[in-house]
Chain A
Amino acid sequence: MTEFIIVQTLNGLVYSMLLFVFALGLSTTFGLLRFVNLAHGSFFLLGAYVGVSTLHATGSFALAVLGGAAAAGLAGLALERMFFRKFYRRTDLDQVIVSYGLAMVFIDIAKMIWGKDIRSLPSPEWLSGGIEIASVTFPVYRLLLIVLGFVLFAGTWLVVERTRIGALIRASVDDRDMVGGIGFDVRALFTLVFAAGALLAGLGGVLAGPITSVYPGLDFEILITTLIVVVVGGLGSIAGAFWASLLIGVTDTFGRALFPDSASFLIFGLMALVLLIRSWGMLEEEME
């Protein structure tokens, strides 16, 4: 029983950290750009696929991580310039449409290039061992992911709270027009934030590869869970995204282990509950 709890907790933490890496970009684009990006999962999948190809070509996992993250970041940069920036001031429905459309286009392009089969992305040899924790052997790679998640949380927190660019981002979340008005290039800042979010999503895609494998449909699977994370954590809040990732990741992992098939009921119910509690005593407009 204790073994079960330890293993599931560790698995839940791994899952949480992957969710967090992915949620960071989604949450900041929500909070900063007021943009609902349903194509965020595509960056995740693109990163994973480029990672698979890079690993295949070079045999180096480090290069795969770099390649996947860079490809997703560049794609984010290009798409922001071409499509997304035109939609920042349009309705959220318009944003949903354009990003959903792009996600639909991407999934077929990905199938053309990488096929429809499940591709494996093995973790590097030197991380394939296990470490014993309280009589349970747990893979080193997964433990490293947990550590990485915490490091990333601390890193982004420092960037946002302690640097000049972070101050600009926080100011733009509150009032982007004012930040633009006093002479900062808000558009460039938006592009930067968007590309950084895409890069993190791609990074998450490669890192998740050894655990989830890579296949078409993974993009929406991860997107849906992360949307829940972002809604529960509050739009644009990094700390919120972190704690919500932990809550949803661990809940979902235990849910899947204890009641397979109805685990999604748990996290969807959790999100509905959070939304309703937050809406308590509010008028509809205030929930915008």
Chain B
Amino acid sequence: MAPGDDANRQKRAPAEGRGDVMLGLAAVAGLVVAPWLGVTDFQLSLLLEVMIFAILAMSLNIILGYAGLVSFGHAAFFAVGAYAAGVVANHVSTEIWLSLPVGILVAALIAIPVGWLSIRVSGFYFLMITFAFAQMIYAVVYRWNSVTGGSDGLLISAPTFLHNPVLQSRHSLYFFTVVCFCLSFLVMQRIIASPFGRVLVGIRENTRRMRALGYNVRNYKLAAFVIAAAFGGLSGVINAQLNLFIAPESAHWTQSGLVLVMVLIGGTRSLIGSIIGAAIVLLLQHSLSSYTEYWSLALGALFISLIMWAREGIYGLAVRGVALLKERAS
């Protein structure tokens, strides 16, 4: 409610300096060689899941962190992408070059009317209206038995490429995901660093001024919403290839809430924060739920501590820590 409140605390956009590029390359190299480093099957699956949800979290962060729109229904686009790809694979063709773009496209197409209506309201009302649309999508997916399999979920035919089975082994799927993940990060990073991305930040900080400057605020918001949905759809398609199954629960609001938690824990001021947030939430979920059933307690406590003492999220906290160390050293 207080614009400009966060502006003073804003950090320099990440991945700009040469050091950051080197760090990024090292991370990618680490991801690529991971399967040969004695990583167990379970850990590989976890990495896969982290990358898939990192794409989803980053895409949500484009509208949340950059355009300042809190969407509580983002998982719906994940589900739409997965279902669309699944229906294509089952009824049209199992070719991955077809099902992947169709999944992304359908998610983006559905985001156009949903976004067009939702951006008419803002603040808490935006949260509620995206929530409402997502729950409506959930209801459709849950009920439309003939197409989506209803409450049982949808079994998806294994993908092929030029009639050869592909992505059948965990390893090939892993590399496929690494490529999608890196490309998504680069493209989204490009988008937010572009003039378009700067306009989004301007809208977040002072909508009225941007409108006075002649920007069509609603068009920018809608574009950001559709782009975010397209990447959300992509993550859904990849997840569908991983499990060859999609359940209606993936569109449920609890799933949207979880993605929101990922973004907020990591920090909304950079895409890297969203990756870290996705990793932390999934790690917590897997490690805590195998020891205790009370992982929501841990996540909630982490959430409260961050909002009370470290509003910039874990990544922002790390950036601040590194800056402090450098200052001490010099």
Contacts and interface: CB of A to CB of B under 8 A. Distances in A.
B117 A272 contact: yes
Contacts of A97: 264, 303, 306-307
A100 to B, nearest CB: 7
Contact of B139 (A90, A105, A264): A264
A125 to B, nearest CB: 36
Main secondary structure of the interface of B (DSSP, over half): helix
Contacts of B46: none
A93 interface: yes
A102 B304 contact: yes
B176 interface: no
Contacts of B293: 108, 111
Interface in B40-71: 70
A271 B121 contact: no
A261 B138 CA distance: 11
B139 A261 contact: yes
A91 B308 CA distance: 13
B120 interface: yes
A200 to B, nearest CB: 21
B257 interface: yes
Contacts of B308: 83, 86, 98
A94 interface: yes
Contacts of A272: 117, 129, 132-133, 136
B5 interface: yes
A101 B307 contact: yes
B300 A231 contact: no
Nearest to A284: B122
Given A227-B128, A264-B139, A275-B128, A287 B122 contact: yes
A288 to B, nearest CB: 5
Main secondary structure of the interface of A (DSSP, over half): helix
Contacts of B120: 275-276, 279, 282, 284, 287
A89 interface: yes
Interface in A261-275: 261-262, 264-265, 268-269, 271-272, 275
B190 interface: no
A185 interface: no
A272 B253 CA distance: 16
A100 B257 contact: yes
A268 B123 contact: no
A48 B123 CA distance: 32
A92 B303 contact: no
B173 interface: no
A268 B132 contact: yes
Interface in A242-288: 261-262, 264-265, 268-269, 271-272, 275-276, 278-279, 282-285, 287-288
A8 to B, nearest CB: 20
A97 B119 CA distance: 21
10 contacts: A92-B1, A100-B303, A105-B300, A228-B132, A264-B136, A268-B135, A284-B121, A287-B120, A287-B123, A288-B1
Given A96-B70, A101-B299, A261-B143, 17 more contacts: A91-B5, A92-B1, A92-B70, A101-B304, A103-B300, A106-B300, A262-B139, A262-B142, A264-B139, A268-B131, A268-B132, A268-B136, A269-B136, A271-B129, A284-B217, A285-B207, A288-B122
